[in-house]
Structure 1
Amino acid sequence: MSEMPKSQTKGFLNSFFELEKRQTNVKTEILAGLTTFITMSYIIIVNPQILADAGVPKEAALAATIFASVIATLLMALWANFPVAIAPGMGLNAFFAYTVVLGQGLTWQTALGAVFISGIVFLLLTVTGVRQKIVDGVPGVLRSAIGVGIGLFIAFIGFKNAGIVISSDATFVALGDITKKGPLLALFGLIVAAILMAKKVKGSMLISVLITTVAAMIVGFISFPTSVSDIFSLQLPSISDTLFAMDLKGAIEYGVFSVIFSFTIVELFDNLATLIGLSKKAGLMDENGKIENLDRALQADAVATMCSAALGSTAMNAYVENATGISEGGRTGLSALTVAFLFILSLLFAPLIFLVPSVATAPILILVGALMLTEIKHISFDDYTDVIPVFLTIILMPLTYSIAQGLAFGFLSYTILKLATGKHKQVHWIMYFISIAFIIHFIISGH
């Protein structure tokens, strides 16, 4: 009799997630979900620290990060049946904190309002089919340049947080004192993570964070936990400080067109490219290049971004780390459902997360930047009308401390150079629209 419920459960899971159709089983999917969670769980530690730099209360930022990831991943599992987990996007969170809030001077509440609106725009673009037209209209070299530029920007932030790179009145930036505990710990964590990644150890980034945190306690950089409650708690972190704190009116009154535009552009390219790559790896793409339920997956991401903003976190994105779970056999939403469950369990360890110093997470930012550099292999360097816009996009993101400004210079220079050299046929009409939008942005904002 005890076998009946178990059998019925397996039958339901098989039917709902189409396990047999995709040639997988419950055990494989759960193990795949566990693998994915281990490799991407560093976001639980890193995202709240980035949001805290923007003034978001850290405890609420942690809760928002986890709750948003749970909702988003459940949507991906139950609505799209994709073996893909979603969480606040690296790059999008940096844009939120360092460009929009610290760079442009918006309050974090207003910035959350802009994130929410970008989610609405993303959803409308998806359901109307305009999304595909925009993606098709932007040249591949610029799509790749966006990823590389964001990677350099994130890495620069990591070096800054580590104290390895500091500000200088004479040279703007300079090497910090790497004999101090902070930079040394960050370099130690960077080496540990790099070695583990080279050896293909699952969860290498998370392991590096934990080892560096322990090392920081041993050398006296941070204090050891003084009680069991400092490590483990049954009390959930409060989300009250950020729940529905987004300022939609403020975002609209500020005229954050360029902010919303930049959020949407990055979401479009990064998320679509990641989902296509993961779907292909999972064998979900047919011989004609069509991916079943791709629109549902993109709709889930857009709705998740709106939910994330309402909770107090940033725009959501599919993580490339899902490839590890797919490599373990993940083919359906059941693996994503497993990740969502593990995200919920991580709430119990919130006090431990608060013990992690920024020097332990800085190496992760640097390595994420290094991984994003691989997009450069898709860029051709034979045509200067391609090379110069690519260069401006990549270099100006970290130098202006703004993803939006890098996008603006890249898109504008591409359009102008193609027109000036008689290559206007290579310019899709959507590029004119985007370029005009950036010109209006410069006129209105003055920078």
Structure 2
Amino acid sequence: MQFLAQFFKFEEKNTNWRRELMAGFTGFVTVCYVVLVIPAMLADAGMNLQAATIAVIWATAFASLLMGLVANFPVIVAPGLGICAFFSYYVCGPMGLSWQTALAAVFISGVIFFLLTVTKIRQLIIDAVPTDIKHAIVVGLGCFISFIGLKNAGLIVADPSTFVALGNLHKAEPLLAALGVLLISALMVRRIKGAMIIGILAVTVLGLLLGVSPLPDLSTLSAPSSLTPSETFFELDFNSVFAYGIVTIVFTLTMVDLFDNMGTLIGLSIRANMLDHKTGHIEGLEKALFSDSVATMASGIIGTPTCTSYIESAAAIAEGGRTGVVPIVSAILFLLCLFALPFVTVVPAYATASALIVVGGLMMQSVVHINFKDFSTGMPAFLTIITMPLTFNVATGFGLGFISYVFLKLLTNQTKDLNIVTILVALAFGINFMMR
């Protein structure tokens, strides 16, 4: 134990086993809703729900172990909600591609992440993105995720006249989803750990008791024949990626995940007091970036969208977590979820929709960091936020915001806010739009 304490730098980080183990458990409780939410989204992409759940568990466990052992970062890593929404509701939706093709694109984007990381280009790109746009990306993602949650809950529906309208509130599903949002929010305000999973389970049980969802036939609840991701492992369809156009798919996937994940990593590391205020250096960030790129490649192989750092890890950090023990403990607990798989399919879409809506609300908090008084940054930030849900495309919103930022700065003679990397990124987005 002493060797492990030295390996994780307990003394240097002023922590101990009890604090780290408790923080790891807390982090798991706040993030474990992904076992219910992400597979439900992947099922909409055409994947088998049980197979998707197994893949999500294994991908989360591998990525979190990597973050803990290699980077010693107190951050839990799992398939990202935003990138999963893009994967399920755009790449496998309007684009009309299979989930196997999308997984191949995820793997290739991981290779690009790896090359960008080891060559330090990734850091240059991150530094080139204005702070206001970074925060706008987070807010836009939140709006997009909540929009999907409202849609899945039936709280909003398509309308031929107004495009979107309020759903039928005489039906039980939208009302139960709304109740779930209120319950989860109230529990979070009261700082009850595991608020999301409690809310999801409460709505599920209530739906079963009211007869909204059918009671499960216990005789059919059996453990899967395999607890490994055999149905999704290495199911990548590279041929279709190249046939469709590798640049469009992979570039979009890479851009969608790049800035959200980086902003999360930097924000959490600062919360964990890992920032050297004199030099601006964040201890272990390079290793965290390396772990992230390897986890992305592994995600495609295992059978999930890109794994990303979860902002809910802040709960573990608030509990005193400062080392890689946090994601390692969470990874072990996620693997134990494999033995509860028969009950996962009982959870209805309107219950997981509640969590999606709340997650969007949490991500909205970043809006306070955007300087709307300076309209040359406020307007691009606004375009980023509003076009993500309205175009049902995260990358489109980001691209429109970024391009408008560069043009407004040029038109208002504020070129000091631009650099060559910023202009090149805007140009890359413009090329991506023209290729569609």
With normalisation by structure 1, the TM-score equals 0.94
Task: Note if 1:42 corresponds to 2:33.
Answer: yes
Partner residue, 2:216? 225
Unaligned runs of 5+ in 2: none
1:261 deviation in Å?
A: 2.3
CA separation of 1:237 and 1:220: change in aligned 2, threshold 3 A: farther
Task: Note if 1:260 corresponds to 2:250.
Answer: yes
CA deviation digits over 1:280-339, x for unaligned, max 9? 222222332322221111111111111111111011111111111111121111122111
The whole-number CA distance in structure 1 between the counterparts of 2:418 and 2:274 is 32
Which residue identity is paired with 1:251? V
Task: Note if 1:136 corresponds to 2:108.
Answer: no
Helix, strand or coil for the counterpart of 1:79?
A: helix
Which residue identity is paired with 1:23? N
Q: Is the 8 A contact 1:144 1:376 kept in 2?
A: yes
Q: Is the 8 A contact 1:189 1:208 kept in 2?
A: yes
CA separation of 1:82 and 1:296: change in aligned 2, threshold 3 A: same
Q: Is the 8 A contact 2:105 2:249 kept in 1?
A: yes
Which residue identity is paired with 2:431? I
1:412 deviation in Å?
A: 1.6
Query: Structure 2 matches for 1:108-123, cutoff 5 A?
Result: 108-123=99-114
The whole-number CA distance in structure 1 between the counterparts of 2:421 and 2:343 is 48
Task: Note if 1:19 corresponds to 2:10.
Answer: yes
CA separation of 1:283 and 1:416: change in aligned 2, threshold 3 A: closer
Unaligned runs of 5+ in 1: 1-9
CA separation of 1:416 and 1:367: change in aligned 2, threshold 3 A: same
The whole-number CA distance in structure 1 between the counterparts of 2:343 and 2:309 is 26
Partner residue, 2:259? 269
Task: Note if 1:279 corresponds to 2:269.
Answer: yes
Task: Note if 1:320 corresponds to 2:300.
Answer: no
Query: Structure 2 matches for 1:14-93, cutoff 5 A?
Result: 14-93=5-84
Query: Structure 2 matches for 1:238-253, cutoff 5 A?
Result: 239-253=229-243
Which residue identity is paired with 2:422? M
CA deviation digits over 1:97-120, x for unaligned, max 9? 112110222221111111111111
Task: Note if 1:107 corresponds to 2:86.
Answer: no
Q: Is the 8 A contact 1:234 1:348 kept in 2?
A: no
1:435 deviation in Å?
A: 2.1
The whole-number CA distance in structure 2 between the counterparts of 1:295 and 1:108 is 31
Helix, strand or coil for the counterpart of 1:317?
A: strand
Task: Note if 1:341 corresponds to 2:342.
Answer: no
Which residue identity is paired with 1:381? F
The whole-number CA distance in structure 2 between the counterparts of 1:217 and 1:168 is 30
With normalisation by structure 2, the TM-score equals 0.96
The whole-number CA distance in structure 2 between the counterparts of 1:381 and 1:334 is 40
Percent identity between matched residues is 45
The equivalent position to 1:155 in structure 2, one of 146, 152, 163, is 146
Which residue identity is paired with 2:236? M
Partner residue, 1:354? 345
The whole-number CA distance in structure 2 between the counterparts of 1:308 and 1:412 is 30
**Cα RMSD for the two superposed structures:** 1.6
CA deviation digits over 1:137-178, x for unaligned, max 9? 111111111111111011000000000000011111111101
Q: Size of the alignment, in residue pairs?
A: 435
Q: Is the 8 A contact 2:68 2:324 kept in 1?
A: yes
The equivalent position to 2:375 in structure 1, one of 373, 379, 384, is 384
Query: Structure 2 matches for 1:196-215, cutoff 5 A?
Result: 196-215=187-206
Query: Structure 2 matches for 1:166-205, cutoff 5 A?
Result: 166-205=157-196
Which residue identity is paired with 1:433? L
1:442 deviation in Å?
A: 2.3
The whole-number CA distance in structure 1 between the counterparts of 2:15 and 2:434 is 55
Partner residue, 1:436? 427
